[in-house]
Amino acid sequence: MEQSAGTVRPAEPQGRSAGEVVKELTELVPRLVRDEIKLAQVEMTQKGKQMGIGAGAFAGSGLIALYATGCLLACAIIAISGVVAAPRPRFPRRPSAACRPMSKR
């Protein structure tokens, strides 16, 4: 079929028999399939590389976010420890026998 100016009309016969057309078709279809498979492999390889780069960047940003969270938590602990006094024990501890001077034993 030929297209010209938006109309479709059947192609004029070129003097080939149906057998020749079928023979040419059987030769061209496998080649077309092989070419399409090669093209799909190339496209998938490119997409895989892009996906790998994206996944690596996402993992790196996640690691940075983890460290940033740890730093913020440490800053919050330091800030709170400066404001809130440490609790004092109710009863003073008695020194153990090992800590007493030798003269009192």
Instruction: Determine, yes or no, domain membership for 93.
Output: no
Domain assignment present for 90: no
Query: Residue 102 has what pLDDT?
Result: 66
Over residues 24-52, the mean pLDDT reads 94
Using a pLDDT cut of 70, give the percent of the chain over it: 71
Is residue 18 within 8 Å of 12, Cβ to Cβ? no
Number of domains, the chain: 1
Is 68 among the domain residues? yes
Show Cβ contacts of residue 1 under 8 Å, excluding neighbours closer than 6 positions. Answer: 8, 9, 10, 11
pLDDT at residue number 3: 57
CA distance 20 to 27: 11
Which residue has tokens 């940033």? 68
> Is 92 contained in some domain?
no
User: pLDDT band at 86, cuts 50/70/90?
Assistant: confident
| Confidence category of residue 62, pLDDT binned at 50, 70, 90 | very high
Segment (H or E) for 92: none
For 29, the 3-state DSSP assignment is helix
Residue 62 belongs to domain spanning: 17-82
pTM of the model: 0.47
Query: Does residue 74 form part of some domain?
Result: yes
Residue 32 inside a domain? The answer is yes
Regarding predicted confidence, which is higher, 105 or 19?
Answer: 19
Q: Per the domain annotation, does 45 fall within a domain?
A: yes
- Top-confidence residue, 57 or 88: 57
pLDDT beyond 90 at 103:
no
Q: Is residue 12 part of a domain?
A: no
